[in-house]
Amino acid sequence: MSNLRINIVLFGIGNVGSELISQVLESQQFFLQNKNIELRFPIITNSTLAFFEKDGIKNKWEANFVQAAIPFRIEDIIEYVKDQQLENLIAVDATASDSIIQSYIPLIQNGFHIVAANKKANTLHHAFYNELRRNLKKFDKLFLYETNVGAGLPVINTIKSLHESGEKITKIRGVFSGSLSYIFNRFGSEEVPFSEILSAAEKLGLTEPDAREDLSGNDVARKLLILAREIGLPFEFSDVKITSLLLPNLNELNTKAEFSVNKALLNKPYQVAKITQSDNHVLRYIGELDLTQQSLEVKLISEAKNSALGQLKGADNHIEIYTKSYENQPIVIQGAGAGKKVTARGVLSDILKVAEQIKLQKNLLVAVSKI
């Protein structure tokens, strides 16, 4: 059986993007031998520059990128893949960019499937959400985004499968942020200032590039909104009630540099919140989608240490899915919810799912042609 060559255009070569390249290069022989799939990166980009290499990048791609990357527009990428007659195209969005998602529909219209770690395409206004899916259907393309919620955990697929099987979901609740899980897990068990733990989370690559995105509650709110839309609820981002962890004098209106310099201002209010809890309780930042109340809420709560949420460790997510069939015994999904390795592995899993679907379609066409 001949190998299927998949051409990946990678947008974003930060923590997740660069780790994805490493994982693909490391596992390339495995994919060839076990799946007859060859994954290539003929184009990789950062926010302003693109490196073009028709035969796919090699191990020393960073140096080549620095030497040969050039400014680009999305039209340049579309024109290049057409000129080079590249097939089996997947655009991978490993950014947190607002602008790249505006290119999803043109990419789909020009032969690309989409795999995204970026959550924003699924949380824009519902008109865009629907138009994106209309184009996916029209051009018979896939859009996979399992890492939008829970990094490498199978949260979206589980909820989607339950919904599509006719199961009535009544509530989804839990810790959805790996970065805030790490911060409050350490804060509850160590006598370390809040700002120092936040800085450690940033250095470990657990937070968004701007940690205020995590602390504002916007990241958790997006995840809740994505799950609500997966089960057919037409909510908008503005429908999510968010209790921010930022301070009135230290928020999104400050520059990133001002926030970084003044992080110690967070120490006192969170120390007060910590010591004024009931005994044997810890702080947890959760999201809750209540279908009976038609409400979405992101908030800081105090949990008993011996509860499931209270016992969380590291950067784990803990998500509880309540349904009519399971009643008071929720389905629980728990595991690493942040970090470049698990997120990149989740993106890679989605890429391979698209590749298998492309392979299936090609085999079907061959079989039909022989009839």
Report, as residue numbers or ranges, the catalytic residues: 223
| Closest C-alpha to 262, from 284, 247, 277, 272 | 247
Longest dimension (CA), the chain: 75
Q: Token pair for residue 310?
A: 């209270």
Decide if 336 contacts 205 (C-beta within 8 A): no
Angle at 43 (CA atoms; ends 40, 44), nearest 5 degrees: 105
Decide if 130 contacts 137 (C-beta within 8 A): no
| Closest C-alpha to 283, from 247, 307, 252 | 307
User: Which helix (H) or strand (E) is 205 found in, with range?
Assistant: none
Phi/psi of residue 261, each to 5°? -70, -30
Q: Token pair for residue 240?
A: 């999510």
User: Which helix (H) or strand (E) is 291 found in, with range?
Assistant: none
Q: Which residues contact 329 (CB under 8 A, 6 or more apart)?
A: none
User: Which helix (H) or strand (E) is 146 found in, with range?
Assistant: none
